[in-house]
Amino acid sequence: MLPFSIELRPGLPIAEQVVFAVKKAVVSGQLRVGTAFPSVRVLSQELRINPNTAQKIAAQLVAEGVLVTTPGVGSIVAERAGADRREKAALLGAELERLVVEARKLGLSLEDVQAGIEAHWKRLGGK
């Protein structure tokens, strides 16, 4: 069983959905620092995806600093405490831009978006 939850949806790349699910699990506390992450083989089997896709997911999570890999040990959730506030905010840049574009396409106001963000923040344990 995977240490995070995901419901794959059609229309979005699988790798993108899994990476997002892992990041969500980390920020919500479902995956904690130092937690072992499944191997590429296990990820591939559990999600019923191509091993190359599973490798791409793992590589992206390592490249983004979500996971660290140690030869002979495997991958674990990385410690992000060393990142400063500006660096952390920069990690959200592309996601925020997508959010704004989608919100504007739907005709939502800034207040609507802020209310939605606040609701999700609280639901995921934010104060």
Residue 77 reports pLDDT greater than 70: yes
- 69 shares its domain with 100: no
Range of the structural domain that residue 21 is part of: 1-81
Residue 82's pLDDT band (cuts 50, 70, 90): very low
Q: State how far the Cα of 61 lies from the Cα of 75, in Å rounded to an integer.
A: 10
Q: What is the pLDDT of residues 35-72, one digit of tens each?
A: 999 999 999 999 999 999 999 999 999 998 899 998 88
In a domain, residue 7? The reply is yes
Partners of 37 in the β-ladder: 75
Segment 5-22 shows an average pLDDT of 90
pLDDT at 30: 84
Angle at the Cα of 83 from the Cα atoms of 122 and 39, rounded to 5 degrees: 80
Mean pLDDT of the chain, nearest integer: 87
Number of domains comprising the chain: 2
What global pTM score does this model have? 0.69
